[in-house]
Chain A
Amino acid sequence: MPLEEAICAAAEALRRRGIREFHGYELAKQLAADNDRKLLTAYGTLYRALARLEAMGLLESRREDPNIAAEENRPGRRFYKLTALAEFVAVAAPTKRRRATIRRRRRGEAPA
């Protein structure tokens, strides 16, 4: 699940920058920055993955206070936040993948 892992990593990067809750567009920009590309993740791909992650218990979401959105004259946002489980995945998964790659190289196999 590379996109889901990338989303967890991007959310973790946002959290390190002091942004604990994020909306879809913010996350899409962080994903693009992480992968050094200008094109943002497609609407359908991004929000479907977010829904999957929420169903898996890695993300939780809430609707923004409608008064704030009304005050700023814009549509309400949906904020996402990593759960404790997802924070573990964001930290541990890349490490595990690196270890697996190192093991494969030692055995003379091509990296996955």
Chain B
Amino acid sequence: MSRVTALVVACVQGWTRLYTWGLPSDVRTVRREEIASDLWESTHELTMTDGEIVLQMVTRLLFGIPDDLGWRLTQGASTMLTPRRVVAVALAAGALLTIMLWPTVEIGAPTVPAAPLQASWVRQPMPPPPPPPPPALPGRRTAPSPPLHYAQTVYSVVADGPAPQRIKEVRPVYPPIAVAYGVEGRVQIDATISASGQVVRAEAAPGGTFYFVQSALTAVNDWQFAASDPARAPARLTVHVNFVR
């Protein structure tokens, strides 16, 4: 986590502590835990750059302040903050955040220095064409893609009866970016197999990380099993998918 990201996380948590301060313990804990979990998910978002994550968190914080205050006011009793004080604190916090983060946030790729302005009607000399790429060696790739990693799967039958025989296994792909960051996870899937051997339903148990769940569901939905007696009820399986390195 970069320094700026850590700072923004601290700001969001500080603001959450501020507007939940003085509330009953159960109400306060639920909101603080929800925000902490959301922040954790945001900072472990692998599809965004650090700058995008920071920008996302700052905008979510600032745009949410009116609703935070509205929610706080609806909690009503035992509040030690008057509405006027809450608004003043919110404005101060928002202004402070904006001032602190404005010059430090970098979004995406590093900025390229702008070319000097020139009149559009002045004909500029054409830049020389780039040299042609060297011819690729026959039968050999110039940039071989890294090998894919796969998750381990284990399945078991939920009800009594023989386990259907799997005749086609598609292994869940370990998302390359998760491999790169060393993120591991487990997903449990409940699947129903029809008499013809097709996966007719696959549902992930709650708690799995989004991209692991997607990868596991995609793979399990493509599994095929040997056809069984049509008179029998569809088989129900529990599939454990382990994304470990």
Q: Which residues of A contact B (CB under 8 A)?
A: 17-26, 28-29, 39-48, 51, 63-64, 68, 72, 74-79
* B124: interface (CB < 8 Å): no
List which B67-92 residues lie within 8 A (CB) of chain A.
Answer: 67-71
Please classify the interface of chain A as helix (H, G, I), strand (E, B), loop, or mixed, using the class held by over half of its residues: mixed
Known contacts A25-B38, A51-B71; decide if A40 and B210 are in contact (CB<8 Å): no
B33–A76 CB distance below 8 A: yes
Cross-interface CB contact of A42 among B39, B63, B202, B204, cutoff 8 Å: B63
A48–B71 CB distance below 8 A: yes
A46–B64 CB distance below 8 A: yes
Residues of A within 8 A of B66 (CB): 44
A40–B56 CB distance below 8 A: yes
Instruction: Give the docked Cα–Cα distance between A63 and B32 (Å).
Output: 13
Residues of A within 8 A of B207 (CB): 64, 68, 77, 79
B67–A44 CB distance below 8 A: yes
A17 CB → nearest B CB, Å? 7
B33–A43 CB distance below 8 A: no
**A-facing mask of B12-40, CB < 8 A → 1, else 0?**
10001000000000000011011111111
B59–A43 CB distance below 8 A: no
B191 CB → nearest A CB, Å? 10
* B175: interface (CB < 8 Å): no
Residue of B nearest to A22 (CB): B206
Cross-interface CB contact of A78 among B37, B39, B61, B64, cutoff 8 Å: B37
